[in-house]
Every structure is written in structure tokens, then in C-alpha cells.
Chain A
Amino acid sequence: MKPLRYGTIGYLFVLPAALYMVLLVGYPIVSNFVLSFQDVTTTTLSAAAKPFVGLLNYRNLLADGVLRTSVGNTFVFTLGCLVLQFGIGFALALLFDRDVFLTKTVRGILMIPWMIPMTVTALMFKFMFSSNVGIVNQALQAIGLIQKPIEWLLEPRSAMLSLIIANTWIGIPFNMILLSTGLTTIPREVLEAAAIDGARPPQTFFRITVPMLKPVIESVLILGFIYTFKVFDLVFVMTNGGPVNSTHLLSTYSYKLSFSLFKYSQGAAVANILFVILFIVSLLYLAFVYRDREGAA
């Protein structure tokens, strides 16, 4: 392939988009950092000179139990979802790997949960988990697993479990489709040769399928981590951090501080903690991508 042409004309094409992103994303990121070192509340929002308080917001947050709970919750939520959605998604990808009647169509329709607005998903699951009319309690009672209805969204542990289940429902199609695509890249001959050599299905799976899918598995897991770690809508609508702040994630806690309590600076500080963790994971992801690309080239 010929080398690309150099020249200022490339800039001309890129400039408008770059400018837009610098103004509407770059500037806010910087401004969010500045904000977290100030003390901005409703009264100082319009003031020209905003009081600088150094690390005070961060220090206050560290002493604050809700922040610790939120950090813990964010990890529990993310890891719980990752394990479930990856496990189930992988199983489904294998199930749908054969070209049986309608496989492609069914696999396609299963994408819908991933596409619908999270607000809708949250509402649906809030309804299904509600203690008096929810189908979950009714079904569990009907088969005799529980005697009394469970207050799913009103107890911290079960509320977190409900959130994980709802988000897993969204994540399964994402994992399934990426792993399915990965599976199609494994040559049939390799699997057939293994079968002829007497390999049993579990052996084939762990010795051939998994190693050959390694790059796909890595990116599915890391991307899954990133997208789950910053989930906001689902939790905001389903529990809004309740009961009593026990299911806040960093994203919803930051929102509460900024837009319910109007402690903009503290909200910004929490958002920065979320940002820094995600930024590190994102760089990790990019390192993986570039390593794989160079390995392939």
C-alpha cells in the first residue's frame, strides 16, 4: 500500500470534530478537576472567583462512609455482572455456534435487550422485583421456594442482587455476539482434527477454543468492565442508591451530591475517582489492543 499523503489538508477535515470534542468534552474534564479542588455550591455557582479548598473535598469524602460503600458497591456490581454475563454469554455463543434452523434470527433478536434504553430496562425489572406485584416473588412462592414475599429492592443485599441481574440481562447479548464472532474465526478443520485425534469436548474447549479466543475474551472482559463500572441510568431508576445509600455506585453517588444536594464540588470529586479508575483500565485495554495488533502484523 502506498504511504498516506502528508499535508495540512488532513487537519482541515479533522478540525471541526476535534474542536467540538475539545470544547464539550476536553474542557469539562479539566474543569471537573478544577471544580473538585474548589468549594462550589448553589451560592457560589455564579460567583466569578470560586473558593479554592485544596484537597478538602477528597479528605471529606474519605471520611465519609457512603463513598467507601459506593466504591465497594461499584466493584461488587461490576464483578458480579462480569462473571454472570460472560459465563452466560459464552454458553449462549457456544449454543448458537451451530447453524441450526433459525440460529441467526434468534441470535439477532436477542440483541434487543442490549439496545433498549436502560431506563426502560430499569422500570421493567423494578416492576418484576416489586414485593407485592412482582412476578419474581409470585413465581418463587408458587414453586414453594419462599413463604413470604421478599422485599427485593428494600434490603441492601437483595437490592444489589436485583441490580446485578437486571444489568446482566443487558450484558448477555453483548458478550454473546462478540464471542460468537470470535468463534467463527476458529477454523473448523482444527476442531475436526482434534475430534479425530480423540479429544473430548471439554478438552477441545479448554485446549483449543479458549486459547484461540484469548484476544476476544480479553477485550470482551475489559470492555465489559468499563461499560459496567460506569453504569448510571439503571441504578438511578431502579434504586437511586437506596435503601439508605446502600446501593450507590460511584456514578449515582456523584450525581446525588451534585444534583440533589447541590454539592457540585464533592460530586465532581467522586466523578474524578470514577474517572481515574476507568482511565487506568482503558489504558490497559488500549495496551492489549495494540499488543495484539502488533503481534498479528
Chain B
Amino acid sequence: MNPSSSRRLSSVMIAIGMLLVFVAMMFPLYWMVVTSLKKEIEIFKVPPTLFPQVLNTDSYSAQIQHGDFNMFRSFRNSFLISLGAMLISLTLAIPASYGVGRFAFKGKRLFILSFLVTQMLPVSVILTPMFITFRDLHVLNTLLSAILADATIGIPFSVLILMSYFASIPHELTDASRIDGCNQFRAFRSVFLPIASPGVVVCLVFSFLYGWGDLAFGMTFILDQTLRPITAGIFNFLGQYGTKWSYLTAFAVVTTIPVVLVFVFMQKYIISGLTAGAVKG
């Protein structure tokens, strides 16, 4: 066999391997979508049908019409919580990372180190004290409680990502902006922020997704069903209608859609965010 044909053969084998991996890894997601579109009887069929025989969208529409578990309401709650957490994270993290990236000050190393450690912190450690504090401050049962808590994950992540962006910007730019009469704050706004904007997008995406994926904070601090995020909604639903799999998977599909959309439009940023050494809470 000559080298080029053996290379072509191995390319074909890699392609086949890739296809198998892809099918295996994506199967759970496929199964979730398919199940949400089946009738309850069909779900129990043996052998299982790989595609719904009768397309059934009741699991989705029933949620709109009536519901002590209205998934669109909890969708809205999740959206507001994630958005709020994202805004707080970015508002605080952008200046902080600029300060760390551009200035020398006492205790800077400790500051960075404590943010790194915070990223590795288990939620369990802060959950109980936070619950007690929020209870005393009467913020339990508000979207704000989850927003405040979720931002504690977005902030350190964003600071660590943006810090290196700001640090990598050459000092000539600062000097030039100073000569042009910018003060620190204007230089920050009109010179640095635009350059760091890809990093800012990474942080927007991740701090939103942290909030979106959170279960522990939302379910612990918000007991009012009408205010709970969608993840907590799924958990409730599972407890009450444990085997209504068409409803449950429909709920899960709706929760997944925004993540997939974010992925489709932001894939480049997500991979760069992950490989920048930063990671999921």
C-alpha cells in the first residue's frame, strides 16, 4: 500500500470513528427531544420507537394553557435571574479586571488568588449562611436572592478572563491616550473597553449560563412556585409527576433551547472561554 492511500484509508476510519462518537454523545439529547414529542403510550412501547409515530405537541401546549407548573413562567424567571446576574457580574468585573490588569497595588496577588480559590468553592459552603442572611434581610422568595447569589460565580470568572485581556494591551496606547488628554476613566472607556470586547462577550455568555444552569440557589432561596427558575421547576415536576416523561422531557427541551442558541451563535467565544483556563462553576 502506498503512503497516500493508507493516509486516505485512515482518514476514512477517523471519519467513521467521529461519526460513532457523535452519535453516541448526542443520543441522550436526541432521545430527550424525541420523547417530548411522543404520546405517553408510545413512550412505554417495547421495542422503543426511534422516531415518534404520532407527532404529539401536547406536552408543550398543555403547559401554556393551565398549570400550577407553568414552564413558560419559570422560563421567564430563569431569564430574568440570569440577566440580572450577568449585569451585576459585568458591571463589577470589568472595572475590577481593568484595575488588576493595568495597575500595581498592594495585595493584588492575594486578590487574584482569592478569586481563583472562589471559583473552586463548593456552593454548599455558602448556601446555609446565605439562606440565613437573606432570610434576615427579607430577600428570600425574590428573584433578587438568586441574582445576588449567581453573580458570585460570574464575577470571579469574568475578572480572571478579562484581567489578561487588559494586561496584554500595550502601554503605548495608554501613553497615547494620555497625550490626547484622556483621563484614566476616559482611557478605560474609549481605548481599553473596545479592545477587550471579545473577552467581554465571553464573560457575558458564561455569567448568563451560570445563572441559567443554577439549581441550588434558585431552589433554596425561592420557595414561591411562581418565582422559581426553570431548573427548580423541573425538580418540582419530577417530584410530582415522576413518570410523566413526555411532560418532563418537554420541560427539559425548553430549558436546553437557549443554551443551544447561545452555542450556535457564540461557539467561538465559548471554546476560548473554556480553554482560557476558566471553567464551569
- Point out residues on A near B: beta carbons under 8 Å: 1-14, 16-18, 20-21, 24-25, 27-29, 31-32, 35, 40, 45, 92, 95-96, 98, 100-103, 106, 108-121, 123-128, 130, 132-133, 135, 138, 142, 169, 172-174, 177-178, 181, 219, 223, 226-227, 229-230, 232-233, 236-237, 250-251, 254-255, 258-259, 264, 267-268, 270-272, 274-275, 278-279, 281-283, 285-286
Partner of B124, one of A5, A18, A255: A255
Residues of B with C-beta under 8 A to A282: 116-117, 120
Stretch at the interface among B51-59, B62-70, B150-158: B150-158
**Chain B interface secondary structure, helix, strand, loop or mixed?**
helix
Residues of B with C-beta under 8 A to A264: 128, 132
**Are A115 and B259 in contact (CB-based, < 8 A)?**
yes
B195 interface residue, CB < 8 Å from A? no
Evaluate whether A237 and B275 lie within 8 angstroms (CB atoms) in the complex, with A21-B155, A28-B126, A118-B215 already known: no
B220 interface residue, CB < 8 Å from A? yes
Residues of A with C-beta under 8 A to B92: 16-17, 20
**Are B127 and A258 in contact (CB-based, < 8 A)?**
yes
**Chain A interface secondary structure, helix, strand, loop or mixed?**
helix
- The distance from the CB of A67 to the nearest CB of chain B, in whole angstroms, is 14
Residues of A with C-beta under 8 A to B214: 117
Residues of B with C-beta under 8 A to A96: 18
What residue of chain A has the Cβ atom nearest to residue B235's Cβ? A237
* Chain B residues within 8 Å of chain A by Cβ, number: 94
**Are B129 and A227 in contact (CB-based, < 8 A)?**
no
**Are B124 and A254 in contact (CB-based, < 8 A)?**
yes
Residues of A with C-beta under 8 A to B267: 108, 111
What residue of chain A has the Cβ atom nearest to residue B46's Cβ? A138
Residues of A with C-beta under 8 A to B198: none
**Of residues A32, A92, A219, which shows the largest number of chain B Cβ atoms within 10 Å of its Cβ?**
A32
**Of residues B128, B133, B148, which shows the largest number of chain A Cβ atoms within 10 Å of its Cβ?**
B128
User: What are 5 A-B residue pairs whose CB atoms fall within 8 Å in the complex?
Assistant: A5-B103, A10-B102, A18-B111, A106-B22, A282-B117
**Of residues A117, A124, A142, which shows the largest number of chain B Cβ atoms within 10 Å of its Cβ?**
A117
What residue of chain A has the Cβ atom nearest to residue B105's Cβ? A10
- Give CA–CA (A122, B181) in the complex, Å: 56
What residue of chain A has the Cβ atom nearest to residue B99's Cβ? A13
Evaluate whether A117 and B125 lie within 8 angstroms (CB atoms) in the complex, with A18-B111, A100-B18, A124-B32 already known: no
- The distance from the CB of B160 to the nearest CB of chain A, in whole angstroms, is 11
Evaluate whether A251 and B124 lie within 8 angstroms (CB atoms) in the complex, with A21-B152, A95-B18, A112-B260 already known: yes
User: Chain B 88-115 against A: per-residue CB contact (8 Å), 1 yes, 0 no?
Assistant: 1000110110111011110010010111
User: Chain B 6-42 against A: per-residue CB contact (8 Å), 1 yes, 0 no?
Assistant: 0000010011011001100110110110010000000
**Are A25 and B126 in contact (CB-based, < 8 A)?**
yes
Contacts A35-B132, A282-B117 known; list 17 others, CB within 8 Å. Answer: A5-B102, A10-B103, A11-B105, A32-B125, A95-B21, A109-B22, A111-B274, A112-B259, A117-B215, A133-B43, A138-B48, A173-B25, A227-B280, A233-B216, A268-B128, A271-B127, A281-B120
**Are A120 and B125 in contact (CB-based, < 8 A)?**
no
Residues of A with C-beta under 8 A to B216: 232-233, 236, 255
Evaluate whether A278 and B104 lie within 8 angstroms (CB atoms) in the complex, with A25-B152, A174-B274 already known: no
**Of residues B43, B122, B124, B213, which shows the largest number of chain A Cβ atoms within 10 Å of its Cβ?**
B124
Residues of B with C-beta under 8 A to A111: 263, 267, 270-271, 274
Residues of A with C-beta under 8 A to B275: 177-178, 181
Evaluate whether A24 and B148 lie within 8 angstroms (CB atoms) in the complex, with A11-B105, A255-B127 already known: yes
Evaluate whether A114 and B280 lie within 8 angstroms (CB atoms) in the complex, with A28-B133, A267-B128 already known: yes
**Are A128 and B31 in contact (CB-based, < 8 A)?**
yes
**Are A259 and B263 in contact (CB-based, < 8 A)?**
no
**Are A112 and B263 in contact (CB-based, < 8 A)?**
yes
- Give CA–CA (A178, B279) in the complex, Å: 11
- The distance from the CB of A66 to the nearest CB of chain B, in whole angstroms, is 15
- Give CA–CA (A121, B28) in the complex, Å: 8
**Are B125 and A271 in contact (CB-based, < 8 A)?**
yes
User: Chain B 232-253 against A: per-residue CB contact (8 Å), 1 yes, 0 no?
Assistant: 0011001000010100110110
- The distance from the CB of A48 to the nearest CB of chain B, in whole angstroms, is 11
**Are A16 and B263 in contact (CB-based, < 8 A)?**
no
**Are A119 and B231 in contact (CB-based, < 8 A)?**
yes
- The distance from the CB of A198 to the nearest CB of chain B, in whole angstroms, is 15
- Give CA–CA (A173, B275) in the complex, Å: 12
- Give CA–CA (A229, B121) in the complex, Å: 10
Residues of A with C-beta under 8 A to B93: 17
Residues of A with C-beta under 8 A to B32: 120, 123-124, 127
B212 interface residue, CB < 8 Å from A? yes
